[in-house]
Amino acid sequence: MDVQPTWWSKYDDPILQFLADTGAAVPPRVILFNLERREIASPHRSTIKRRLQRLQKYGLVEKVGEEGYYEISELGKAYVSGELDASELDADE
């Protein structure tokens, strides 16, 4: 994971790692709570929502149901485990 795509944020790795660690579908506020609680990051809740939407666009997370829950996708798991470099996801906007 040497070069991140232009759309990548410093919050994307912690979000993906949290989702991979839990294996659960959770709403953005649960992700935020845990990132802050573990003193990993302290973004605004709207930032978490935007990042999840962007990660969903590139197939790294999936939205579950209409309630706004997200879980890591198989592609996201491949990224977290080091099998996929994020630079491979840099597509035309």
What are the tens digits of pLDDT across the range 31-82?
Answer: 999 999 988 878 888 899 999 999 999 999 999 988 899 999 999 999 999 9
**Would residue 89 count as lying in a domain?**
no
- Is 68 a member of any domain? yes
More confident residue, 30 or 90: 30
Q: Is residue 29 in some structural domain?
A: yes
pLDDT at position 2 is 54
Q: Is residue 72 part of a domain?
A: yes
Residue 4 belongs to a domain: no
Residue range(s) defining the domain that contains residue 55:
11-79
| 72 against 3, higher pLDDT | 72
Does a structural domain hold residue 35?
yes
Indicate whether 92 belongs to any domain: no
84-92, long-range: CB < 8 A, 24+ apart: 85/1, 85/2, 85/3, 86/1, 86/3, 86/4, 86/5, 86/8, 86/12, 87/1, 87/2, 87/3, 87/4, 87/5, 89/5, 89/58, 89/59, 89/60, 90/5, 90/6, 90/7, 91/58
CATH code of 18's domain? 1.10.10.10
What domain count does the chain have?
Answer: 1
